[in-house]
Structure 1
Amino acid sequence: MDNSKERTLQNYLIAGGFGGICTTLIGHPFDTIKVRMQVVPGLYINSFDATWKIITHEGRTGLYKGMSAQLIGIVPIFALSILSYESGKKLLTKIDEDEQNLKPKKLFLAGMFSGLTTTIFSVPGERIKCLLQMQNNTKKYHGFFDCLVKLLQEGGIRNLYVGTCATLLRDIPSSGIYFAVYETTMRTIQQNTTQKSIWHPMVAGGLAGISNWIVAMPADVLKSRIQIAHVDKYPQGLRSAFREMMNKEGPIGLYRGIVPIIIRSFPANAACFLGIHVALDFFDKFK
């Protein structure tokens, strides 16, 4: 990420939130398809079949189920993610070292720190999002806040944090890859051109998004299964879900829903980093 020593952590916090809004508006329909394919194996032949069936039986709005939960959750998650990443870079920068020239290993570590810090927001948000996305015409939950209240009534705060271990297993390594790929791609592009372009963060963000999901997908499948299941279905949590998947579907089950999420990854993350750069350029211009 282009760095300016005069930018404050507050600038990164706001820019990250704006980037999260951009990525949600572009990518949510693909995320709905991904979750449906992950949780109900065999119901859909492929991504296109899933899209067609959702639109046919639930209308186009079916693709946007759970988006309110995503938007409510994504702003603090992305804001905290960018803030934590920039803070991580500062912590890993030696006195005589330029932050813009940190090696990929340190960028990866800073990204992992980002993935760790966002869990407190991402787990409840994704729990609610997945439950809303899995609803058909028979609705138990009527929107984000209704789902939130019912989950709290049924099991308290603990009920919101179902799937925490799987989320950590997904987000810590994948966030490291995400930011390391983004930064190294931006550096490569900028070394070969003297002109700035909006395409630079879009290309780097898109490639970072694809890299992120290749790493994150197995844990994300398990997370989705755990978060929509009855509380007693997986008594050992992640281990129970993994054991069931290996017995019934084998390793290929860990990449169920990969096609829609890869299709989503490039435009959604391109929009995310474009939004972040637009916000940061705004702060640079009007500071």
Structure 2
Amino acid sequence: MAEISSSGYKDYLAGLFAGVAAVATGHPFDTVKVMLQKHNAEAHMIQYRNGMECTARILQTEGIKGLYRGATSSFIGMAVEGSLFFGIYSQIKLHLQGGVQSGEPRPQVIIPSAACSGAINSFVLGPTELIKCRMQIQGTDSLVPISSRYSSPLDCALKTVKIEGVKGIFRGGYSTLLRESIGNAVFFSVYEYVRYHMHSNIKVDSSNYSNLVDIGIGIVTGGLGGVAFWLTVLPLDVAKTLIQTNPDKNCPRNPFRVLHSIYKRAGVKGCYTGLGPTIGRAIPANAATIVAWELALKMLGIKRG
């Protein structure tokens, strides 16, 4: 079902709530994913057997706060990214429909809307993820020397710029752009089509039950969309993590070259390093994102069929 009404700034405000919900729910899974990608996909590093061992080690050495390492930059980044992404997606979608609301989803509308908004947001998401990833891999474990650790996200950003220049903060930008444009085209295709067909086949008379059904459908569509996103673009995310966390500022920046190196060393499994915690994160984080977005739209008076 399509939007019945839309208001510019409200689309962006609803997206902000969605971004915050995503970080609050999914950041611990993301920390484990980044640790696995850094220390399992890269050659000659200490490896974790699986996500559970990685989680246990973080909890043992740092407690719960270790799983939220780097969350400050994520909350800021995802709040801005969520606001821009959902706002731009809604506005481009409406424009491509000629300002006319359409009931059934159309790929010629959904795919360019999602891909364009994802590409634009990659310029915000890239620097915040670089800071997040560098904060996540340091921890209190012995994998990163104390002299090389950052005291805060701001310290990380300042040191990165000092050592690598302004362009250093955008390291991994090409990988982020590819991941976000391709991944979000897949995400919204799955979300819009599943949502449309679920609403078409579920009829509820009571308004109370209708709200519960909307939340339930949001959980299902967000979760499925998130799984589809990561199954499609996780290799690009693995390459991005290695590019952004490599201490050598002259390291290769081409994600396909990095993936080729990983494939030669560890095969397809290496390119999907961190799949377990990534899928574990995708379902609750994306479900929370979609539910928060749709509830915010409803509270702001933007109705969806």
Q: Where on the TM-score scale, by shorter chain, does this alignment land: which range?
A: over 0.9
Q: 1:48 to 1:190 in 2, by over 3 A?
A: same
Q: Which runs of 5+ in 2 are unaligned?
A: 41-45, 141-145, 205-209
Q: Is the 8 A contact 2:2 2:102 kept in 1?
A: no
Deviation at 1:99, TM superposition (A): 3.1
Deviation at 1:159, TM superposition (A): 0.8
Q: Does 1:93 align with 2:97?
A: yes
Q: 1:2 to 1:94 in 2, by over 3 A?
A: closer
Task: Provide the residue aligned with 2:72 in structure 1.
Answer: 68
Q: Is the 8 A contact 2:3 2:101 kept in 1?
A: no
Task: Provide the residue aligned with 2:251 in structure 1.
Answer: 234
Q: Does 1:32 align with 2:31?
A: yes
Q: TM-score, normalised by structure 2?
A: 0.88
Q: Is the 8 A contact 1:93 1:102 kept in 2?
A: no
Task: Provide the residue aligned with 1:22 in structure 2.
Answer: 21
Post-superposition Cα deviations, 1:59-79, rounded to whole Å, max 9, x if no partner, equal 221111010010010011111
Q: 1:143 to 1:236 in 2, by over 3 A?
A: closer
Q: 1:220 to 1:186 in 2, by over 3 A?
A: same
Aligned residue type for 2:111:
F
Task: Provide the residue aligned with 1:216 in structure 2.
Answer: 233
Q: Does 1:246 align with 2:263?
A: yes
User: What is the aligned counterpart of 1:59 among 63, 67, 70?
Assistant: 63
User: What is the aligned counterpart of 1:151 among 160, 167, 187?
Assistant: 160
Post-superposition Cα deviations, 1:159-204, rounded to whole Å, max 9, x if no partner, equal 1100011111211111101111111111011001123322111211
Q: Is the 8 A contact 1:201 1:270 kept in 2?
A: yes
Q: 1:236 to 1:274 in 2, by over 3 A?
A: closer
Distance 1:63 1:28 in 2: 7
Q: Which runs of 5+ in 1 are unaligned?
A: none
Partner of 1:44, secondary structure, is: coil
Q: Is the 8 A contact 1:36 1:134 kept in 2?
A: yes
Matches within 5 A, 1:104-253: 104-137=107-140, 138=146, 140-195=149-204, 196=210, 197=213, 198-232=215-249, 234-253=251-270
Q: TM-score, normalised by structure 1?
A: 0.93
User: What is the aligned counterpart of 1:80 among 84, 102, 113?
Assistant: 84
Task: Provide the residue aligned with 1:8 in structure 2.
Answer: 7
Count residues in correspondence.
284
Post-superposition Cα deviations, 1:61-117, rounded to whole Å, max 9, x if no partner, equal 11110100100100111111111211221232147x633333134212211111111
Distance 2:234 2:242 in 1: 12
Task: Provide the residue aligned with 2:293 in structure 1.
Answer: 276
Post-superposition Cα deviations, 1:218-246, rounded to whole Å, max 9, x if no partner, equal 10000000000023452453244223212
**Larger displacement relative to structure 2 (70-79 or 146-155):** 146-155
Aligned residue type for 2:97:
T
Q: 1:13 to 1:21 in 2, by over 3 A?
A: same
